[in-house]
Amino acid sequence: MKTYHQKASEIQRNWLIVDADNQVLGRLATQLATLIRGKHKPTYTPSMDGGDFVVVVNAEKIRVTGDKANQKIYYRHSNYPGGLKKTPYKIMLQKHPERIIRMAVKGMLPRNRLSRHMLLKLKVYAGPIHPHTAQSPEPYALKG
């Protein structure tokens, strides 16, 4: 038996649309990471970016379980001394709900150069309107 390796000319990317309304953040992020990487396809090759484009709508209606809504904090650093910034989940949900999903998916991708290209295929929008109607994305039913 020979191992199959996908070639760049064989890659076929689809456009999928996912509704984040009333979805749990972590469970949604794992499924989005799988779609972006292309692991749901039989032609998956780890060294190639063969995943699909994913459009996520209604990011402002995402939910978290337990008491994470009060306890979860997002950190970032400016690389200057004392430059640690903290943002609670509730404020992040009000100001930048699309960043919540993008950061969760980014944490589930491998830490390499390829992941930066994969993350560009994730399009997240706070409301139900998105500018990708020309690509005619297919609705994707989430598992679970």
Answer whether 39's CB lies under 8 Å from 50's CB: no
Q: What integer pLDDT is reported at residue 46 of this predicted model?
A: 92
Looking at 6-143, which runs of residues are DSSP E strands? Answer: 15-19, 53-57, 73-77, 84-88, 122-124, 138-139
Cβ atoms within 10 A of the Cβ of 8, count? 8
User: Which residue do the tokens 């904090």 mark?
Assistant: 73
**Whole-model pTM?**
0.93
User: Tell me: the pLDDT tens digits for 19-64?
Assistant: 999 999 999 999 999 999 999 999 999 999 999 999 999 999 999 9
Taken in order of first residue, the domains within the chain and their CATH numbers are: 13-139 (3.90.1180.10)
How confident is the prediction for the chain on average, in pLDDT?
A: 95
pLDDT value of residue 4: 86
Q: pLDDT tens digit string along 52-96?
A: 999 999 999 999 999 999 999 999 999 999 999 999 999 999 999
Q: How is residue 133 annotated by DSSP?
A: G
Q: What is the pLDDT of residue 143?
A: 84
State the pLDDT at residue 98.
Answer: 96
**Category of 57 on φ-ψ map: left (φ > 0), alpha (ψ -120 to 50) or beta:** beta
Contacts 24+ apart (CB under 8 A), 104-112: 104/25, 104/26, 104/28, 104/29, 105/29, 105/32, 105/33, 105/36, 107/29, 108/29, 108/30, 108/33, 109/33, 109/36, 109/37
**For residue 2, is pLDDT > 80?**
yes
